[in-house]
A and B are shown apart, each in its own frame.
Chain A
Amino acid sequence: KAGVTQTPRYLIKTRGQQVTLSCSPISGHRSVSWYQQTPGQGLQFLFEYFSETQRNKGNFPGRFSGRQFSNSRSEMNVSTLELGDSALYLCASSPGTSGNRETQYFGPGTRLLVL
């Protein structure tokens, strides 16, 4: 099976702009989770989508949003970018039905730099 893919891999934006990142999960997986990784805060959970519905959300401002399509592909959007949004954004894929035992498989990430 193909792994999790994320596009683009690298992105440079300026403050105030918006950005959309894309994630395609492993075939058959219906859950997509997003994480932000920064040197200062480490890995933080953004949100999780399952069957086109957001099931869980982390503690991030409303500028961070996401959606999931019927083919399970997911996008996350960050509006009005701030310097602090510079990070590695990781997408994780899982079946979505196995509770706390479920392993998430991560994509290569999108490195976002906000200038």
Chain B
Amino acid sequence: AQKITQTQPGMFVQEKEAVTLDCTYDTSDPSYGLFWYKQPSSGEMIFLIYQGSYDQQNATEGRYSLNFQKARKSANLVISASQLGDSAMYFCAMREAAALNAGGTSYGKLTFGQGTILTVHP
């Protein structure tokens, strides 16, 4: 089973509008971290935002916010006031902690979704 699912292969948004990129995850670990990265055509992965499973509030970083619904196991990224430079591939990723605590098999390992290509139109 997929641990991270991004169901939108591509999304389009008009400049200055908001857009939501979907991410659902699957884990039985009560402690985990969720991350969103942006990958422009140059290839470098740029960290955007982090949400911990025990965090009470949804994470926000500038124009990025995370709509975290723990019971639904979803962690959607919301980009407000889209800019042309936001056009890129966006990845949702997860790190589970239980195996980490028990012996380290999660060290370093982020599990990524397949990504969503976002295109911002002028």
Contacts and interface: CB of A to CB of B under 8 A. Distances in A.
B43 A88 contact: yes
Contact of B43 (A50, A102, A109): A109
A55 B43 contact: no
Determine the main DSSP class of A at the interface with B.
Answer: strand
Interface stretch (B11-19, B62-70, B77-85, B109-117): B109-117
Contacts of B100: 99-100
Interface in A27-53: 31, 33, 35, 42-43, 45, 47-50
Contacts, number: 81
Nearest to B6: A42
Interface residues of A, number: 30
A25 to B, nearest CB: 12
Interface string B24-62: 000000011101010000111111001010000000000
A94 B97 CA distance: 16
Residue with the highest number of chain B CB atoms closer than 10 Å, among A50, A58, A90, A102: A102
Contacts of A58: 109
15 contacts: A33-B110, A43-B91, A43-B110, A45-B111, A48-B109, A49-B108, A56-B105, A56-B108, A99-B97, A99-B101, A101-B52, A102-B95, A106-B44, A106-B45, A106-B46
